[in-house]
Each structure stands twice: as structure tokens, then as C-alpha cells.
Amino acid sequence: MSLWDKIKGEFVDIIEWTDDSTDTMVYRFERHNNEIKYGAQLTVRESQVAVFVDEGKYADVFMPGMYTLETQNMPLLSTLKGWKYGFNSPFKAEVYFINTKRFNDQKWGTMNPIMMRDADFGMVRVRAFGSYAMRIVDAKKFLSEVVGTNWEFTTDQISDQCRNNVVSAFAKAVADAQMPVLDLYSRYDEIGQSLIGKVQPTMAEMGIELLNLLVENVSVPPEVEQAIDTRSKMGAVGDLNKFMQFQAAEAMVKGAENPGGMGGIGAQMAAGMMVGQTVQNMQSAPPPMPVQKQFHVAVNGSQQGPFGTDALRGMVSSGQLTPDTLVWTQGMADWQPARAVADLAALFAAVPPPMPPGQ
């Protein structure tokens, strides 16, 4: 190796980073102890941002494009280095490439169940999981708040923090919405939109934008699932008495198809017991209350009522209703004296006769 090649090897004149991974968020350009040559070529590809750091202080940020590193396009680094009158010598600086692409299919889920109060089932333990997408929007903030001095940073190193933010927001979103457990399954989109609004401020503090968040599943303990299934079956059955009668009749038909078998005899016996129980329940139920016939009464040339039997009995006692008073009820062709109506004749029989004169 010639002296010139040795000297040339001490300088870096091409700075670029090609990423063949799917999860690398930040990469520090490896130059070992080489110095960056003045006039070196910097290539920043689409979905990348390059940040220069001098002795722990963040300097210039380069967006996608090709750059020749000179004093003119490195104003902040020139100030930090004290390049007041131009500079054409090699220099040292750390170069971080930040991946600004969209990181999809990031998983979140509750490690422990979340307790929520439900009007139907009381206190219920709920688990949930889903996915989200994010990207870096503030390179300097992400470097200072999250990455630090790591030479390479991947999504795995921030997934726990993001998941905790989402789970905490999920618990608050469910509490604020006061949704019944039965409604959670049909409102995934609404819950997801609510979570984005609650999680985004925390993500923004790290220089990250939350692009979307999906709720893929909400689950409850097996006993609550069984209660939900039972309630659904009861809703589908409708009238329980009619359902039991149908079941009994169906069992009798199946038993009749196989009268000689023990299964058929058992089915007939069970069906008979079910029918007997159903009939007993129907017989033990009290009959409906009788409906009193309502009458309209003509009092002093005006129509009043309708009145039930109890009210008419009081009118007879007070003298407002006499045998000659005209009355009418549903089914009568015309008004008739009360004495001519069979339903009212008994009311006058209970009225005592007038007191004899002089008593």
C-alpha cells in the first residue's frame, strides 16, 4: 500500500446507509475512527433522515437527497466546530440515519386482565389485543428521548413502551365509554379511534406519530362467555312454556318411532313428565280477572259515564240511578230503562223500600 492510499484510507468520503431489515429504526454510520473528508458525498434515501452529532450535541439534519458536505450546508456543525472563515480539512462527527418509513403490524395486548364494571354481569375481567402502525416524525426528539447513544435501534426496543401506552389508554377508553360487555364486540372501530386520540400525545413526546390502531379481539373469562351464550339462547327461544311443550311433543314422536327400545320408553316417560308438569303449571295458574261491563247513564238530560258495576251500585244508593233511568252499553241497539237491563236488575233488589209515613 502506498503512502497516498494509507492517507486516503484515513478519510471517509462517501456516507450512506442501505437497510435490508424491516425493524431498524436508527442506525449510526460506522466509520470507526476515520475522519469525514471535507467535501464528502452524503446520500440520504427516501424514508430516511440523517442527523449529525458533534460531541453529544445535535447539529444539522439532512432530508432525502445527495449532498456535498461543505461549510455552506452544515451551518450548525460549522458553528459548533468554530468554522468562522470556511473549512477544508477532515473533521469528526457522528452521523445517525433515522428510518422514517411506516412500521406496520406492531402488536399490543393486555398482559393482565382489565377489571371493568358491567351492568349485566357486575365486575368483569377483560383482555384485548390488536395492532398499530407508527413512524418517526421528529428525528432529533426521537434520538434524544428514546435512542440515546445506541448505535442501532429496532422496534423491539420500544415495543414494550408503546404497548403499555396503548393498554393504559384502552382501560381508560372502556371506562369513559361505559360500554356493556355485550357491546364491545361490535364497536372495535370506535374503540380504536378513541385509543388513537388518547395514545398520540404520549407518542408525540418521543417524536413518533401513531398512524392507526386496531382492536382485533376483546375476550372475557369462560364463565362470562357461557352466560352470554345462555342469554342468547333464551332470547332465541322466546316463550319458554311453548318451547317446553314443543320439546315434549318432539320427544314423544321420537319415542313412538321406537316403542320397543329402552330409549323409546325413557323418552316417552320423560315427555309424559314434561307434559304433565306443563299442564299442572297451566292449571295452577289463576283465571283472568272478570271484566266489568261499562254503562252510560242519562242524568238530567246529559250523558255520563261509562260506569262499572261498583260505581252504579253507589249511584243507586244515592238515588242518582233509578229503575226508570235510561242506560246504554256496548251491544244495545238503543237506550233502555235500567229496570229492563238484566245486568242492573240485581242492583235495585238490594235497595230497601221507602220508610212508611210517620216513622
Query: The CATH number of the domain where 195 resides is what?
Result: 3.30.479.30
Confidence grade of residue 321 (pLDDT, cut at 50, 70, 90): confident
> Which of 42-56, 240-254, 271-285 shows the lowest per-residue confidence on average (mean pLDDT)?
271-285
User: Quick one: how far is CA 128 from the chain centroid?
Assistant: 10
Asked whether residue 24 carries a pLDDT value surpassing 90, the answer given is: yes
Which pLDDT does position 208 carry in this prediction? Answer: 95
Asked whether residue 304 carries a pLDDT value surpassing 90, the answer given is: no
Residues 61 and 146 in one domain: no
Residues 219 and 124 in one domain: yes
Provide the residue range defining the domain that includes 264: 239-281
Tell me the C-alpha distance between 46 and 64, whole Å: 5
Mean pLDDT of 118-129: 83
Confidence grade of residue 346 (pLDDT, cut at 50, 70, 90): confident
Residues 251 and 263 in one domain: yes
* Range ranked top by mean pLDDT from 77-81, 100-104, 216-220, 327-331: 100-104
Which pLDDT does position 61 carry in this prediction? Answer: 95
More confident residue, 228 or 338: 338
> Would 290 be classed as within a structural domain?
no
Residues 25 and 72 in one domain: yes
CA atoms within 13 A on the CB side of 90: 15
> Would 232 be classed as within a structural domain?
no
More confident residue, 251 or 201: 201
Which pLDDT does position 163 carry in this prediction? Answer: 92
Which pLDDT does position 7 carry in this prediction? Answer: 44
Confidence grade of residue 6 (pLDDT, cut at 50, 70, 90): very low
Please say which residue of 73, 99, 125 terminates a domain.
Answer: 99
> Which of 15-19, 171-175, 227-231, 305-309 shows the lowest per-residue confidence on average (mean pLDDT)?
227-231
Residues 204 and 260 in one domain: no
> Would 18 be classed as within a structural domain?
yes
Closest CA to 210 of 221, 199, 224, 220: 199
Which pLDDT does position 276 carry in this prediction? Answer: 59
Please say which residue of 79, 99, 119 terminates a domain.
Answer: 99
Evaluate whether 281 touches 241 at the Cβ level (below 8 Å).
yes
Residues 202 and 151 in one domain: yes
Which pLDDT does position 137 carry in this prediction? Answer: 95
Asked whether residue 182 carries a pLDDT value surpassing 50, the answer given is: yes
Residues 136 and 170 in one domain: yes
More confident residue, 259 or 135: 135
Which pLDDT does position 272 carry in this prediction? Answer: 57
More confident residue, 120 or 327: 327
Asked whether residue 236 carries a pLDDT value surpassing 60, the answer given is: no
Closest CA to 10 of 30, 40, 38, 33: 33
More confident residue, 192 or 277: 192
> Would 289 be classed as within a structural domain?
no
Mean pLDDT of 260-286: 56
> Would 229 be classed as within a structural domain?
no
Confidence grade of residue 120 (pLDDT, cut at 50, 70, 90): confident
CA atoms within 13 A on the CB side of 287: 3
Tell me the C-alpha distance between 118 and 138, whole Å: 41
Which pLDDT does position 4 carry in this prediction? Answer: 41
Q: Work out how many domains the chain is built from and give that number.
A: 4
> Would 288 be classed as within a structural domain?
no
Residues 95 and 202 in one domain: no
Residue 135 cell numbers, joined: 413512524
Asked whether residue 255 carries a pLDDT value surpassing 50, the answer given is: yes
Confidence grade of residue 253 (pLDDT, cut at 50, 70, 90): low
Mean pLDDT of 18-29: 92
Residues 107 and 220 in one domain: yes
Asked whether residue 283 carries a pLDDT value surpassing 60, the answer given is: no
Residues 143 and 169 in one domain: yes
Tell me the C-alpha distance between 333 and 325, whole Å: 16
Asked whether residue 210 carries a pLDDT value surpassing 90, the answer given is: yes
Asked whether residue 8 carries a pLDDT value surpassing 50, the answer given is: no
Asked whether residue 324 carries a pLDDT value surpassing 60, the answer given is: yes
> Would 231 be classed as within a structural domain?
no
281 Ramachandran zone, left/alpha/beta (phi>0; psi -120 to 50): alpha
Please say which residue of 99, 130, 148 terminates a domain.
Answer: 99
Residues 128 and 213 in one domain: yes
Residue 218 cell numbers, joined: 376483546
Which pLDDT does position 344 carry in this prediction? Answer: 81
Q: Exposed, middle or buried, 239 (CB in 10 Å: 0-12/13-18/19+)?
A: exposed
Buried b vs exposed e over 161-191: b needs ≥16 C-beta within 10 Å?
ebbebbbebbeebbeeeebebeebeeebeeb
Model pTM score: 0.59
> Would 355 be classed as within a structural domain?
no
SS (H, E, C) the chain: CCHHHHHHHCEEEEECCCCCCCCEEEEECCCCCCEEEEEEEEEECCCEEEEEEECCEEEEEECCEEEECCHHHCHHHHHHHCCCCCCCCCECCEEEEEECCCEEEEEEECCCCEEEEECCCEEEEEEEEEEEEEEECCHHHHHHHHHCCCCEEECHHHHHHHHHHHHHHHHHHHHHHCCCHHHHCCCHHHHHHHHHHHHHHHHHCCCEEEEEEEEEEEECCHHHHHHHHHHHHHHHHCCHHHHHHHHHHHHHHHHHHCCCCHHHHHHHHHHHHHHHHHHHHHHHCCCCCCCCCCEEEEECCEEEEEECHHHHHHHHHHCCCCCCCEEECCCCCCCEEHHHCHHHHHHHHCCCCCCCCCC
Q: Exposed, middle or buried, 278 (CB in 10 Å: 0-12/13-18/19+)?
A: middle
Residues 174 and 80 in one domain: no
Which pLDDT does position 1 carry in this prediction? Answer: 45
